[in-house]
Amino acid sequence: MTLSITHRRTLVIAACGYILWQMTGQANHYLAPARLYIWLGGLLVAFAGLRLPAQEGFNACFLIGLLVDAGSPVPFGTHAFLFGIAQLVLVRLRHRFAADETMVAVTVALLTNLALLLVLAFFRLGNAPDASSTGLRLLMDLVISQSVLALLGPWYFALQLRALEYAGAGLRLEAAEPI
């Protein structure tokens, strides 16, 4: 039994997201003594929102969100919901961008990361005992996260493209298939 191209794309993008999330978790482990945190949710969503067909991208983002939720101290489904919404917004807006360009994709990932982090921060600040110090910490985390995202973005997009090609589910296959 072989998987269809649609299912392979979904699984490949989700696997790449899982790899990035594990690498981020390892980096956060080493940054914990300095009380710093990296969050790359926008990078997990950007490729699927800009390059994949809508349903495939939504499935991949939702699955990545469930994987992130499994290890996060938020109600289960929070990241899956937010990643799914972010992907749908990107699908609606992607015709306005040169989605194939790496720098455009990185910029979209930065903006998506900012939006997602602000939404999550909104929920966190409500429960914080000292909102001002928590706000400063979140601001520092945002600066570090955006810097890391800008550096890792081109590599991560290339990783996803190459992984799709290795899985036999490249994005150019649909254009080459007869209707």
Query: Could you tell me the pTM of the whole model?
Result: 0.88
Q: Residue 163: which residues within 8 A CB-CB, separation 6 or more?
A: 12, 15, 16
Residue 39's SS3 state is coil
> From residue 119, how far is each of 77, 82, 114, 126 by CA, in Å?
14, 9, 9, 12
Q: State pLDDT tens for residues 23-43.
A: 999 999 999 999 899 999 999
Q: How confident is the model at residue 72 (pLDDT cuts 50, 70, 90)?
A: confident
> Which range has the worst mean pLDDT, 82-96, 121-135, 156-170?
121-135
Q: State pLDDT tens for residues 75-114.
A: 888 999 999 999 999 999 999 988 889 999 999 999 999 9
CA-wise closest residue to 43 among 20, 12, 59: 20
All domains in the chain, ordered by first residue: 5-168 (1.10.1760)
Q: What is the per-residue pLDDT for 150?
A: 97
